[in-house]
Amino acid sequence: MKVIILAGGFGTRLSEYTEKIPKPMVKIGNKPILWHIMNSYSKYGYKEFFVALGYKSEIIKEYFLNYKTLNSDFTVDLKSGDLTIHNNENNDWKVTLLNTGLNSMTGGRIKRFEKYIGNETFMVTYGDGVCDVDISKLSEFHKEQKKLITVTAVRPSARFGELDIKNNLVENFQEKPQTSDGWINGGYFVCEPEVFDYIDGDSTIFEKDPLEKLAASKELSAYKHYGFWQCMDTKRDRDSLNEMLENNNAPWTKL
């Protein structure tokens, strides 16, 4: 199954990094978050990626063009130009990079891949969030529901600690608990090709008219993910994800 990754936004809330590089290229450890997302899919056998580019697209293109040398040691013979790669990662991913327009909305970016996807079920996610969702179970759930699209619903951690107060005493203190309700769109969509028919063009915001219409026609199912999920919207998010990785406590790497 083919995977579309939306990687063309401006990432303005992470401007500390995105003035120079696109948000999906901001690193967690020594790898861009885009790589972490792709690696999560590949662990479940999904290795054909279609990356929707926009803002600073050339940086993502250069990364994949030079992927082997950037991620390996190598010897270069300056006389002949011959290159010998050492300790190659040997990823068997196939990556299609498509410039989907600087100002295109999420729906417009997805629509650009219609001719590449064909009449197949496909996946879509955002290029700025990691999670430990079981993608095989997500795919199976989608098949069972028999709907045009499935969204992975998540409950993000609260930004601040939660206090349970009675009679001016704190009876329960939870630092950054998982919210008890309030499911949100966590990305990791599974889509039937008919979903393309709900997108008009570049100006279409996928999360507006298309998903609203699909929900109204009872064609949008939700796969509830109770595990880890974290988007990288701010420097604080980026630092938190790096800390998890440094402490060997990064759930998305333990799939």
3-state secondary structure of 241: helix
167-209 pLDDT per residue, tens: 544 345 455 555 555 788 999 999 999 999 999 999 999 999 9
Count other Cβ atoms within 10 Å, centred on residue 47: 17
71-84 pLDDT per residue, tens: 888 899 999 989 89
H or E stretch at 244: helix 235-246
241-251 pLDDT per residue, tens: 999 999 999 99
- By CB atoms closer than 10 A (0-12, 13-18, 19+), residue 94 is exposed
Whether residue 60 contacts residue 6, with contact meaning beta carbons closer than 8 Å, is answered with: no
Q: Which residue has the higher pLDDT, 179 or 8?
A: 8
Q: What mean pLDDT is reported for the chain?
A: 90
- By CB atoms closer than 10 A (0-12, 13-18, 19+), residue 226 is exposed
DSSP 181: S
The HSE-up count of residue 67 (CA atoms within 13 Å, CB side) is 16
> What tokens does 32 get?
């861009």
